[in-house]
């Protein structure tokens, strides 16, 4: 495999070679699409205030889907040499011939231009281990004697999609994340931020946020479970919206009847507007989805009214619509997922400003280990983490110990339930979908806590 | 492939590493899934590459490359050392690796029927048939899948390790999801994640998905109209699949030494366990004896050697209710001044080996499920995991199961929907007063244990039997 000056694998021509091989092996009537991607990613991890794991990987991926009269199969390999590509295509063709016809096969993506070419920063793509460690050093210094733990990650990737319908798109992307905690002997505080550019991320600033939270969360006391008004900081809000996207707005869930979504219905508070936008300047996405459909901005909720669901080609066919460009790897089982969620900021100020309007409630930094109990009602259980504080008469009065909650996420944003939207902005990377969620803090009328973490 | 790994190690040493090891790996993966009688997905993946780990001072560096030449493997070793040198600018305490026997060996698990050689048509017919049966029985979302992993790896270390292993794993799953007016209900067989092992296709044949398709379809539909699990405190009997999950979450992760040392603090979390109490802390009742044993034939967490070259061996974790052991690797064991457990594994050539569960499970007890039901006046039997959540110290958990049954006066009565239970690890394990026997001992396999950054998916095994727990809070919703 050859690489360019920036260390990126040279992928030119690989996709064309694969399509040519498909024609040669399976005949000219065969359909196929090819994804080729490659790059380098590095992740520097620290714990107990030292770098304990520091890894980098150069990678290449070639994935082909071959379709023979409605029978299809995919195969992938991490090599680009002619022998590997030949073996890849023969494997996919043999598998496609052996499987039954897929009556739901939606066809390949037609030609369509991309809205972007992807966000790219050369310095991030070529970031060295020293660059990442320098950010770690800033973070550790900023926590001022507390214990630090977390990671700094950089990624640079180039990619190409093409298919036998003549559709072809290319793109590239960079991403960087700093995510860490500061620890006292009995409390943790978190700071995290993602960007297209490592240079945007200050270990000192993010570490200082984590340290301030950890100190403010020290000496927590128990609070009885029950229903509380809450201010959720951006990490919690991103978690909440992610569940709604996966289990609600997902076209597969809608088609199968296990989604809450009712289009045109005011299912959310009138102040809620929810957008998915993998094309904006903050996005770390490629310009197209896993089926080669160009990404586009999509309004999911406008003025509290559910306005759209996300589709890949399969769910779109089942629903009688068009793909919205939300196919994800493994989508045959996961469905079509909005992973670049944007909740526009409000006028509520910071999370502490929002807390200033709370009678008696909780200010929460982070959620942990959230799991869905029922997808239809989006009832989720999980715990608070990295800082929870009691708010009384608009004043943050004391830290409390972590609590377990069991809460319908849909109900949490129901009409009348959103009391304020912050003007702060969390830019939060999601490693599961390689995406970025951009959200403010939220002031919600009620949240159901079902136990204390200590029993 | 040994030569590639050796070139990577030599590259790292030449660049200044004081220790290095490298794994060359060739991996194949195949999966198929079906829904409602149709095949939905057929995926085949192959990868070849080398990952090399270098130690400079007390600091690690790791670099991975796909399909390298000898020269590129050597350069990967150099990159690993460069990365370790960068790590050393924010160093930890001085550390040496725990001593282990240096071996040159080959190992492969028993595999009577190569899963990748079973015709795709036969596999497709199996999944389509099972899901077709459930769909025809009125299930709107009937799904089934199998997965196969075929991994060959060659380990070389600067201490002289030279070990090759061939590990074949497979398994399958099926589920019936019924959709009601306000909620969905699901029944799975053999468990929520299916059942997996370091075995050949004979495991899938033994699981026999078709024999259970009609039953789980019927149970999923019945759950829609079953009464809700009432809230309260009661005696709880768990089926062995749920006990396996309980072990995984509240014991297995809690005894990982990297968590105890704080190395996973920012992400996976830490542990409520304090090494000062190793050997004296009461973790559960006298019936609770848990081992981590990578030598169990066919269990999903079995291997010949871990990814540092430490031979597989059983380790006591809890003995008669007392905490006795941890899961460790060579660096963490050295820091804790404990024997090396040999539990370091990586998810492919491009990932750093880290502490992983092997087969962490209960040794069987003196009772049976039937005896537990008979001995219970008022309780609930729950089976098959549906949801799982536990705090970052592995202490407070809330788990949901797919199905519950009311137990009254020693008999199993009506079905209950949405059963959940919650508790605190050591209190819960301390309340265990009945434990299933050898006839009910199942080596459950979990093929999707997430840990680490970048994320790694681990394959773990959990020998388990049914068990009864007294005075548990249930019906939390």
Nearest residue to B406 (alpha-carbon basis) of B237, B240, B191: B237
Substitution target from B90, B121, B388, B397 for chain A, most A beta carbons within 10 A: B90
Q: Sign of the CA dihedral A311, A314, A316, A318?
A: negative
Is residue B334's pLDDT more than 60? yes
- Is there a contact between B59 and A54 if contact means CB atoms under 8 Å apart? yes
Helical ranges in B342-467 per DSSP H: 369-374, 425-430
Q: Does B61 touch chain A (CB under 8 A)?
A: yes
Substitution target from A39, A192, A373, A431 for chain B, most B beta carbons within 10 A: A373
**Nearest chain A residue to B63, by CA:** A56
**Nearest chain A residue to B179, by CA:** A258
Go through the domains of chain A in sequence order and give each one's CATH number.
Answer: 14-216 (3.30.2290.10), 226-452 (no CATH)
Residue B89 in tokens: 């600018």
Chain A closest-CA separation from residue B116 CA (Å): 12
Sorting pLDDT into bands at 50, 70 and 90, what band is B95? confident
Residues of chain A in contact with residue B220, where contact means CB-CB under 8 angstroms, are none
Minimum-distance CB partner of B66 among A78, A431, A453: A78
**Nearest chain A residue to B391, by CA:** A383
**How open is the CA angle B421-B425-B427, to the nearest 5 degrees?**
90
Q: Does B233 touch chain A (CB under 8 A)?
A: no
- Is there a contact between B392 and A383 if contact means CB atoms under 8 Å apart? yes
Sequence-distant (≥ 6) Cβ neighbours of residue B199 within 8 angstroms: B109, B110, B111, B112, B168, B169, B170, B298
Spell out the CATH class of B2-224: alpha beta
Centre a 10 Å sphere on the Cβ of residue B470 and count the other Cβ atoms it contains: 17
CA distances to A209, A213, A356, A446, B319 from A396, rounded to whole Å, are: 17, 12, 8, 17, 46
**What confidence score (pLDDT) does residue A215 get?**
98
CATH 3.30.2290.10 residue spans of chain B? 2-224
Chain A closest-CA separation from residue B6 CA (Å): 19
What is the value of pTM for the model shown?
A: 0.95
Is residue A394's pLDDT more than 70? yes
Instruction: Please write the tens of the pLDDT for every residue from A31-73.
Output: 999 999 999 999 999 999 999 999 999 999 999 999 999 999 9
Sequence-distant (≥ 6) Cβ neighbours of residue A28 within 8 angstroms: none
DSSP state of B248: I
**What confidence score (pLDDT) does residue A333 get?**
81
Centre a 10 Å sphere on the Cβ of residue A204 and count the other Cβ atoms it contains: 15
Instruction: Please write the tens of the pLDDT for every residue from B142-199.
Output: 999 999 999 999 999 999 999 999 999 999 999 999 999 888 999 999 999 899 999 9
Instruction: Please write the tens of the pLDDT for every residue from B395-412.
Output: 999 999 999 999 999 999
Instruction: Please write the tens of the pLDDT for every residue from B216-252.
Output: 999 999 999 999 999 999 999 999 999 999 999 999 9
Sequence-distant (≥ 6) Cβ neighbours of residue A418 within 8 angstroms: A268, A269, A271, A272, A442, A443, A444, A445
- Is there a contact between A379 and B477 if contact means CB atoms under 8 Å apart? yes
Q: What is the ipTM of this complex?
A: 0.93
DSSP state of A386: E
Distance CA A188, CA A183 (A): 4
Contact B156, B5 (CB under 8 A): yes
Residue A453 in tokens: 């973490």
Pairing of strands B290-293, B19-35: unpaired
């Amino acid at each position: 495999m050859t690489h360019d000056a920036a260390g990126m694998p040279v992928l030119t021509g690989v996709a064309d070679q694969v399509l040519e091989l498909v024609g040669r092996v399976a005949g000219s009537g065969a359909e196929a699409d090819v994804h080729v991607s490659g790059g380098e990613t590095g992740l520097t991890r620290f714990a107990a205030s030292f770098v304990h794991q520091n890894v980098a990987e150069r990678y290449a991926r070639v994935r082909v889907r071959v379709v023979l009269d409605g029978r299809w199969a995919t195969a992938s390999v991490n090599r680009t040499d002619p022998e590997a590509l030949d073996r890849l295509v023969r494997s996919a063709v043999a598998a496609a011939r052996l499987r039954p016809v897929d009556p739901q096969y939606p066809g390949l993506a037609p030609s369509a231009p991309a809205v972007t070419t992807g966000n790219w920063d050369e310095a991030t793509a070529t970031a060295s281990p020293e660059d990442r460690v320098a950010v770690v050093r800033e973070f550790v210094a900023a926590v001022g004697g507390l214990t630090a733990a977390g990671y700094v990650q950089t990624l640079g990737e180039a990619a190409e999609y093409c298919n036998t319908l003549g559709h072809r798109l290319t793109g590239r992307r960079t991403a960087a994340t700093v995510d860490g905690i500061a620890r006292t002997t009995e409390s943790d505080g978190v700071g995290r931020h993602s960007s297209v550019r490592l240079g945007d991320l200050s270990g000192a600033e993010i570490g200082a946020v984590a340290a301030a939270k950890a100190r403010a969360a020290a000496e927590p006391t128990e609070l009885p479970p029950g229903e509380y008004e809450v201010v959720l900081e951006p990490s919690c809000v991103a978690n909440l919206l992610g569940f709604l996207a996966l289990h609600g707005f997902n076209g597969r869930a809608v088609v199968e009847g296990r989604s809450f979504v009712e289009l045109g219905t005011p299912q959310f508070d009138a102040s809620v507007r929810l957008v998915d936008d993998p094309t904006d300047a903050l996005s770390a996405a490629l310009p197209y989805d896993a089926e080669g459909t160009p990404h586009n901005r999509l309004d999911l909720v406008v003025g509290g009214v559910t306005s759209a669901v996300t589709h890949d080609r399969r769910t779109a066919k089942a629903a009688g619509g068009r793909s919205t460009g939300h196919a994800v790897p493994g989508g045959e089982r996961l469905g079509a997922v909005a992973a670049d969620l944007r909740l526009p900021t409000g006028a509520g100020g910071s999370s502490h400003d929002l807390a200033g309007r709370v009678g008696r409630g909780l200010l929460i930094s982070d959620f942990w280990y959230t799991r869905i109990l029922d997808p239809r009602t989006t009832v989720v259980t999980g715990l608070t983490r990295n800082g929870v504080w009691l708010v009384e008469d608009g004043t943050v009065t004391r830290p409390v110990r972590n609590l377990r909650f069991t809460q319908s996420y849909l109900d949490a944003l129901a009409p009348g339930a959103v009391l304020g939207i912050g003007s702060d902005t969390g830019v939060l990377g999601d490693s599961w979908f390689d995406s970025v969620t951009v959200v403010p803090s939220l002031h919600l009328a009620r949240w159901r806590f079902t136990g204390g973490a200590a029993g | 492939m040994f030569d590639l790994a050796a070139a990577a190690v030599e590259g790292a040493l030449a660049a200044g590493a004081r220790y290095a090891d490298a794994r060359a790996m060739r991996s194949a993966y195949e999966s198929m899934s079906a829904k409602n009688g149709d095949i939905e997905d057929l995926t085949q993946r192959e990868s070849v590459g080398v990952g090399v780990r270098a130690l400079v001072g007390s600091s690690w560096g790791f670099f991975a490359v796909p399909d390298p030449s000898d020269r590129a493997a050597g350069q990967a070793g150099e990159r690993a050392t460069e990365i370790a040198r960068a790590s050393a600018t924010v160093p930890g305490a001085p550390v040496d690796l725990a001593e282990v026997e240096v071996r040159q060996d080959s190992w492969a698990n028993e595999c009577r029927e190569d899963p990748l050689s079973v015709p795709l048509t036969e596999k497709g017919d199996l999944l389509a048939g099972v899901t077709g049966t459930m769909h025809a029985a009125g299930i709107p979302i009937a799904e089934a899948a199998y997965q196969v992993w075929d991994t060959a790896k060659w380990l070389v270390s600067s201490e002289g390790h030279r070990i090759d292993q061939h590990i074949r794993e497979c398994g399958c799953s099926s589920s019936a999801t019924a959709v009601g007016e306000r909620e969905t209900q699901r029944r799975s067989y053999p468990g929520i994640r299916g059942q997996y092992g370091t075995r050949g296709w004979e495991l899938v044949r033994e699981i026999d998905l078709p024999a259970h398709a009609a039953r789980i379809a019927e149970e999923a539909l019945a759950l829609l109209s079953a009464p809700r699990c009432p809230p309260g405190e009661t005696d709880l009997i768990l089926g062995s699949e749920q006990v396996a999950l309980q072990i995984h979450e509240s014991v297995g992760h809690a005894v990982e030494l990297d968590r105890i040392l704080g190395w996973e603090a920012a992400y996976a979390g830490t542990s409520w366990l304090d090494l000062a109490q190793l050997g004296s802390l009461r973790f559960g009742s006298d019936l609770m004896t848990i081992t981590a044993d990578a030598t169990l034939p066919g269990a999903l967490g079995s291997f010949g050697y871990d990814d540092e070259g430490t031979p597989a061996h059983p380790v006591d974790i809890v003995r008669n209710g007392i905490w006795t052991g941890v899961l460790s690797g060579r660096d963490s064991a050295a820091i804790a001044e404990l024997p090396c457990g040999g539990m370091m594994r990586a998810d492919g050539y491009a990932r750093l080996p880290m502490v992983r569960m092997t087969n962490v499970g209960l040794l069987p007890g003196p009772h049976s499920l039937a005896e537990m039901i008979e001995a219970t006046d008022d309780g609930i039997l729950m089976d098959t995991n549906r949801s799982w959540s536990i705090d970052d110290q592995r202490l407070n958990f809330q788990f949901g199961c797919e199905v519950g049954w009311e137990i009254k006066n020693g008999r199993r009565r009506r079905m209950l929907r949405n059963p959940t239970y919650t508790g605190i690890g050591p209190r819960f394990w301390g309340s265990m007063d009945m434990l299933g026997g050898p006839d009910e001992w199942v080596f459950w396999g979990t093929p999707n244990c997430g840990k680490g950054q970048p994320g790694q998916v681990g394959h773990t095994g959990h020998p388990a039997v049914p068990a009864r727990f007294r005075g548990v809070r249930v019906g939390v919703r």
